[in-house]
Structure 1
Amino acid sequence: MKKTIYLMLALGFLNLNAFAQEINWVTFQEALELQKKTPKKIMMDVYTNWCGPCKMLDRNTFQKKEVADYVNEHYYAVKFNGEGNDVVNYKEKSFTNPNYNPANANRRNSAHDLARYLQISAYPTIVFFDDKGEVIAPIRGYQKPSQLELYLKMFKKDDHKNIKTQEEFNAYYKAFVSNFKD
């Protein structure tokens, strides 16, 4: 009886995941190359392997169909391990993690030089880049779908260029109507 229940639960879990929408993740290098052919903004999820809120962002936000559909249509999506050991070329510089310790791959590790360059001080952080690869803004912390939607749409439409003060952002935030369900 227990085996039957476990099997039913496992199949139910697999079926739910089969319908989960996937974001088309690419490397930062690939996104920068893709921008040359078809300009789009970049959304970079800077995460670490040990970060609980990073896993929640993946599970609760990025797996939502409306989020994934919007990101896939309007952005190049990048996953970047802020404590990983990838070599990344950006702005004619090569960024590495010279103090990376493979033994700490799933624990706290040294920050990657690109994460330092982007001034990442918390995980997760979502960094938005314009269609020429220039940083628009980093958004720190876990974002529910409705919270992320505000930034996705604001940066997509370049509304951020008209917001000069905290008061203007607060007004934009209050007027924003979310279509994404949390």
Structure 2
Amino acid sequence: MRILSILVIASLFTRLTLSIQESKELKWYSFSEGLKIAKSENKKVLIDVYTDWCQWCKKMDKEVYSNSTVKNYLASKFILVKLNAESERKHIFEGREYSETELAYIFGVEGFPTTIFIREDMQPITAVPGYFPADVFMKILTFIGDDYYMKMSFDDYLERTGGLPKN
């Protein structure tokens, strides 16, 4: 009976721990703050460039950034930044002051959402335009986050890892 009680308590504790982890929200920073933290923690930066009217941006927030696998991976590998491409909020980048609108332009953003990846040394890696389901987005995240982009093309990476998920 005692062993059964211990097993039940352990099971409840495990479920509670998992539900707490899954409910943990991602920590998003402003552009200036995110880059500063990334430098101090020597982490890559993921910048989610969005607009308030963009339905695909909202879908990305609701379905992709809320996915527990995506959240756990992002939290371990990246400092996260939200950048409103229509905001005049000012930030310092490379010694100059820019609005968020100007920063989106500097990074070559032409549509929304766009995900920008920056290396630990604050050099741009790439910008990926569009919405992606969580399983496809994970392929992109691991390609960048695990530094495969330094060794091979994304097509080669997909070939080596079984391609894109089939829906």
> Structure 2 length normalisation: TM-score?
0.79
The Cα of 1:177 is off from its aligned counterpart by 5.0
Structure 2 counterpart of 1:84, one-letter code: S
Deviates more, 1:145-154 or 1:50-59: 145-154
Q: How many residues are matched?
A: 144
Structure 2 counterpart of 1:128, one-letter code: F
Over aligned residue pairs, what C-alpha RMSD do you find?
1.9
Once the two structures are superposed, the pairs formed by residues 55-134 of structure 1 within 5 Å of their partners are 55-96=58-99, 112-134=101-123
Residue 149 of structure 2: aligned partner = 160
- Please list every run of 5 or more consecutive structure 1 residues that lacks an aligned counterpart in the other structure: 1-18, 98-111
CA distance, structure 1, for counterparts of residue 47 and residue 161 of structure 2: 23
Residue 140 (structure 1) aligned with residue 129 (structure 2): yes
Match of 1:113, SS? helix
> 2:51 aligned to 31, 48, 72, which one?
48
The structure carrying a bigger helix percent of its residues is: 2
> 1:26 aligned to 15, 24, 29, which one?
29
CA distance, structure 2, for counterparts of residue 119 and residue 94 of structure 1: 17
> Structure 1 length normalisation: TM-score?
0.73
Match of 1:44, SS? strand
The Cα of 1:61 is off from its aligned counterpart by 0.2
> 1:176 aligned to 146, 161, 166, which one?
161
Deviates more, 1:57-66 or 1:23-32: 23-32
| CA offset digits 1:21-79 (Å, max 9, x no partner) | 42111111112211232100000000000000000000000001111111111100011
